[in-house]
A and B are shown apart, each in its own frame.
Chain A
């Protein structure tokens, strides 16, 4: 029963009060920031402010400001958006089952949702997106489903390569690639090579991934260094371990700021265990194929309203 409800996890009274205060501040900041032609013709209270295309015809706003307004939803502040978002794309099979469709239809619908999410992230200036496509525990699923998923990944990579190059998306694939079919491994390597110079957004896809195995692999690499005499066991620090993790393909911000898990499950399921030490978690009951722009905005708004302290005091 509960899983079919669209529930809003941000509605506790603390965030309600805080977010309404923020809206107020946002309004006043706009008034002081936009000097010049806009103020006299269109006041901030004018409903036309909400509709960029309409306000454009009413007031000669500057080109960049109009673009910025068109790109970001009204109450999201660009400076407090997460730089790195991680997503656990859960619920495809349940979505399909609820509609009497096979699970392959769920995964296809999930792919379209992912595409939309990457587009929105590019638009809103999110610099990195990590998605949990296939866990190492998923290998125990029925062979037909696993084969379908592998074929889906191959087709997606093949068809979307052109788009990645056009949109400036850099792809990284993390996970134990040795378990993947040979053709997929080759294709993945090719896509990663071809897109490595793109700078618009980094998209990390976790296929056959397990957080514990990733940390163990990092430990193995460090043990090898110790064996080769490059490092003493007493000198091992957390940064040595972080360098060996696969998410180091984005060296500037390897740790996600926000982790979204769909379909109402409240756990991390072996995803980015080390990296999610200080990640804000957002859980929603929506199934992944239904996760749309509105849900994404909700997640980002929830992130914006949180106070991140990293163990310290903020007075």
Chain B
């Protein structure tokens, strides 16, 4: 894996180590702004064509690129691969501002990035992907911005059920985590529809956190645990010798809380990536990321590309033995 790391560093403009030395977890290859503006224009054209029902034309370069990717992922898979990656998709608005385009375009390009990353994760064999789309704190923003984000979300959620979406292509199962009752009716209904439609899919799992904060999730889990415990003690639940009722006299345990969290049927994230260089969790999966590898690459979310993803996985593979030992100890402890 160090060979691959050095390959990437030579491709960039500075090999490791570098003066002034840059820590590996903050290492990114330099951004090139001109091609990205072209990318934005291309994406806008593609979005325009898709809106009018015309598919963008495939080309031979796409097939060659797909083949090269497959080779790269085969080499990457020689090392330990993460099972679950979580993304905090930060920087859409800054991206639009820097390129002097409309604010909504940043979020549109961000959605395209999300679908590409999901595709790469599927090709790499990463089974679970979680993204932080909208926090409960984001409701405090200007009503126009919140409304436009809700409209964009509804549009994109509906697109997930279309023929050429990642759901149909790769068999993704979609989860929506959060207090969905805080969302507007159309968005909530669309989300529930997608969850029902994809509940039986056996492919990778994409969990989208909307109207979500981790403290809210833990609070709802506590409410459910307390309600369940009080029902049990008041005799509303018929135990009939079930082993689940033989818990410690109504004491709430770590396992009780964990089974009532939104993330109950997902393993904890192996890597948490927050784009745009900010180093904080912002109330995202606080319970679940206790032993996750935290990374904060500098590129904004719409600029986050395959090379950043591969670099993130290489970083993870470097510390994997130590992390795995810690996880085994933690499991033993619990």
Contacts and interface: CB of A to CB of B under 8 A. Distances in A.
**A and B assemble together:** yes
Nearest to A279: B280
A310 B137 contact: yes
B26 A12 contact: yes
Nearest to A226: B226
A268 interface: yes
B252 A233 contact: no
Given A226-B226, A313-B145, A14 B137 contact: no
Interface stretch (B169-177, B237-245, B284-292): B284-292
Interface stretch (B47-55, B115-123, B215-223): B215-223
Given A211-B290, A220-B252, A233 B223 contact: yes
A88 to B, nearest CB: 12
A267 B229 contact: no
Nearest to B90: A309
A222 interface: yes
A201 B281 CA distance: 27
B290 A273 contact: yes
Contact of B216 (A5, A7, A238, A313): A238
Interface string B121-150: 000000000000001111011100100000
A137 B325 CA distance: 12
Interface stretch (B14-22, B78-86, B160-168): B14-22
Interface residues of B, number: 62
B267 to A, nearest CB: 15
B254 A213 contact: yes
B146 to A, nearest CB: 11
Nearest to B137: A311
A281 interface: yes
Contacts, number: 161
B214 interface: yes
B210 interface: no
Interface stretch (B59-67, B187-195, B201-209, B326-334): B326-334
Given A276-B281, A311-B282, A236 B290 contact: no
A279 B323 CA distance: 23
A216 interface: yes
A283 interface: yes
Contacts of A238: 215-216, 219
Nearest to B322: A265
A212 B219 contact: no
Interface stretch (B69-77, B104-112, B293-301): B293-301
Given A5-B17, A282-B279, A311-B282, A219 B222 contact: yes
Interface in A192-251: 210-213, 215-216, 218-220, 222-223, 226-227, 233-234, 236-238, 241
B157 to A, nearest CB: 21
Given A140-B333, A274-B286, A216 B257 contact: yes
Contacts of A222: 222, 226
A11 B252 contact: no
A139 interface: yes
B25 interface: yes
30 contacts: A2-B23, A5-B17, A7-B21, A7-B22, A9-B23, A9-B26, A12-B26, A136-B333, A140-B332, A213-B254, A219-B222, A223-B230, A223-B250, A226-B226, A227-B233, A234-B223, A238-B216, A238-B219, A266-B293, A267-B292, A269-B326, A273-B287, A277-B214, A277-B281, A279-B280, A281-B279, A281-B281, A312-B137, A312-B140, A313-B142
Interface of A: 2, 5-9, 11-12, 14, 136-137, 139-140, 210-213, 215-216, 218-220, 222-223, 226-227, 233-234, 236-238, 241, 264, 266-270, 273-274, 276-283, 285, 306, 310-313
